[in-house]
Amino acid sequence: MPHQRTSISLLITLLSILLARYADAKTFRNAYISFELPPTWNCNLEQTEWVCRSESTKESKEAIIILTAKEVGITDSFQLYEQHLNSPITLKLKSGGATESKIVYKSKTVQINDQNWIDGLHLGSEVQNYFTRYLATIKGRIAVLITFSAHKQFYTKYSQDFFKAVMSLRVTETKNLGNASDLGPIRPGSGTLGPGSFQNAMPADMANPEEVSGKGGNKMILLIIALILAGAGIYIFLKKRKK
């Protein structure tokens, strides 16, 4: 009987965990795509791109998801996307000049929910010191590009959230592009869609966590030194009083 009660209790606990996860699930959806977002994230339309970030000021600077779509044109094909992702991407630096991204893994074709995507990963392609995973696809008259970017210090922190988002990707072919009010401005077929497209869409407040953590580290060191000196002063004062 005790064993049965333990089993029932364990089952209730597992069900509670599953229900909690389901309740926390948050889906972003517009007229051409849907995917699962982390619970505290939101997406906003910025000109022709949807920008998805955490509501937390700190975490919003550590990782970001950006997506856009365009009418299929002569520059859109799986082969061209693959070629672009297999070449270094030029990144214009805010301080002036430019640098090239590092290809972390060469692009490959992956199937997600019965839809083929070209998948590639770069370092320093859209913003410095950030890994960016690219997923590009074509369905009907629409070409879609979505990027998952996180600072190299925090990429593992967001890897599970990114994995869930990627595995939940679903593309909807929209027949009446002009009548889809929730599409937002869609790029024309004459435009291009590919790596480096979102450099200008990256928010200006995407701070470099290395610099932030460095400043915080210096403050912590100074605080520790101050506490040690204060402790030493108190010790000397008490020792003198005893004498």
Nearest residue to 64 via CA among 79, 73, 54: 54
Tell me the per-residue pLDDT of 133-187, one tens digit each, with 9 for 90 and over: 999 999 998 999 999 999 999 999 999 999 999 999 999 866 655 555 555 566 6
Tell me the per-residue pLDDT of 180-213, one tens digit each, with 9 for 90 and over: 555 556 665 656 676 666 777 788 777 565 554 4
- Which residues touch 80 (CB under 8 Å, ≥6 apart)? 194
Alpha-carbon gap, residue 12 to 19, rounded angstroms: 10
Write down the pTM of the prediction. 0.74
| pLDDT of 224 over the 50 cut | no
